[in-house]
Structure 1
Amino acid sequence: MAETGYGQRVTTTVTTSTTVQTNIRFDPSYVKTIPGILKIVQAVASLVGFICIQFSYQNNAGKGVYFSWIAMIAFWFTGILLGFYLFHIVEKFYKIPWLKIEFVFTALWTVLLFIAAILAVTVHDNPHSAAAFFGFTATLAYAIDAYLKWRAVQAGGLAQGSRVVSQQTASVTSPQRVGY
């Protein structure tokens, strides 16, 4: 309680409530959201980049192997997360810091895919060039996603569900005292 003036006290109450549904259910509307679209772009670009590398006659060289590993880890991790979001498994286990986990992964994979795409450009054959294009596309999608996750972590958001913060302020005015 704080006193703001003669005879007046202000009480501020901040209430935070987390609303989640812990039942597992299929929700196809997630793929229409920006995070859903980004996950689809990341998974598809990683998979297509991997397939392009596999068509190269130099796919077993160091650069091709590195690209393949990074692209496949990106594909599987992002695909599993997409499934978790589509079936609200993330919401069921809302106490796990999903946004922080995703932020770390997306930031790290932005760098690793960027390196893989640059390495693929240095191999002068068409499959590596195509893989580099999809690598750069995935890099951009991961960078945007990392930025959005970072903002959500800073704001204290939830990956799924909602957190409502309400603030209530009450003023109480005491009658003025007459001086003697």
Structure 2
Amino acid sequence: MADPGFPGQHTTTTTVQTSSTTVQTTIRFDPLYIRTLPGLLKVIQIVLNLVGFICIEASGPFSYHSRGSWFNFVSMTAFWFTGILLALYLFHIVEKFYQIPWLKIEFIFCAIWTGLYLIAACVAVSFGVEAYIAAGFFGFCAMIAYGFDSFLKFKAIKSGQLAQGERVINKQTTVRTATY
């Protein structure tokens, strides 16, 4: 008689996961990167950073106010960081140094700059000068762009993607069922 405490069958599942990384370590110029979503986002971010900076500088005597200085710090730091990253991607330098966690670096930067742009844009808009209000609008747009980029980087990190290059993950599952 069978013991009711034991199941009638036993299932064993074995999963083997292998991955291969394919990268080219040669430095080369690839203008097609700008047509990808990450490349397009970087170009949009650079333009928004620059336009916001110009709006603050065009405010005349108010350009040296502490609110404007804070906005300019946020926008110019983002401008240079994003511009350098765009150059690294255009010349496939990121792919050459694929061991560096580029996606995590970009995720952290984009997440921090989303918050900093929220603060800078709110401070600029509350000043009440037309040029500051315009800069605040572009700051809010940049905040959205950096927030969306941060979301995309988070998804890429969770799925195990590389910043540039290809990683192929093969999964092989074996299921064995034994009846007792």
| TM-score, normalising length: structure 2 | 0.87
Aligned residue number for residue 53 of structure 2: 50
Per the TM alignment, residue 12 of structure 1 is displaced from its structure 2 partner at its CA by 4.3
Mapped to 2, the partners of 1:105 and 1:50 lie a distance apart of: 19
Deviation at 1:167, TM superposition (A): 2.2
User: Partner of 2:44 in structure 1?
Assistant: 41
Pick aligned residue for 2:125 from 121, 125, 129 = 121
Rounded to whole Å, the distance in 2 between the matches of 1:165 and 1:35 is: 22
**Matches of residues 48-127 of structure 1 in structure 2 within 5 Å?**
48-56=51-59, 57-127=61-131
- Higher mean alpha-carbon deviation, 88-97 vs 149-158, is at 149-158
CA RMSD, 1 decimal: 2.0
Q: Give the drift of 1:166.
A: 0.7
**Counterpart position of 1:13:** 16
| Cα distance in structure 1, aligned partners of 2:118 and 2:13 | 54
Distance, in Å, in 1 between the alignment partners of 2:134 and 2:19 is 49
- Return the match for 1:145 from 144, 149, 155: 149
TM-score (norm: length of structure 1)? 0.87
Other-structure match for 2:170: 166
1:55 maps to amino acid: A
Amino acid at match of 2:21: T
Aligned partner letter, 1:100: K
What is the match of residue 25 of structure 1?
Answer: 28
